[in-house]
Amino acid sequence: MIYKAQDHTIDLTKITRLYPAARVEAAGEVAHVSLEWAELKKDEVPISAFILVFDFDPLGEVPDNRIELVYESKDDLIIAMKEVAGILEK
């Protein structure tokens, strides 16, 4: 099960964690937060991008091996999530 996007070829059989996030910037710091938190704080903290994170390290280990696909809008992120879900359902 291969997913190709943004110059990446991702083997979906090897991912250990897959999740969406929002990239926020505050006081010169950049962080990835849950979409729910970003929605709650959208008037206080600007969202600079939306991210789909693919981790490959075993659960319980620090995720050093990951691919992050970056999207400008939440709609684009959701489209990508649906594409990945379609591949995983096969």
- What is the per-residue pLDDT across 69-90, written as a single tens digit (0 to 9) for each? 999 999 999 999 999 999 988 7
Look up residue 55 and give its amino acid: D
Domain enclosing residue 28, as ranges: 2-88
Distance CA 61, CA 16 (A): 11
Q: How many CB atoms lie within 10 A of CB 38?
A: 20
Distance CA 43, CA 53 (A): 24
In the chain, the number of structural domains is: 1
| pLDDT, average across residues 19-38 | 90
| pLDDT band (50, 70, 90) for residue 44 | confident
* pTM (predicted TM-score): 0.86
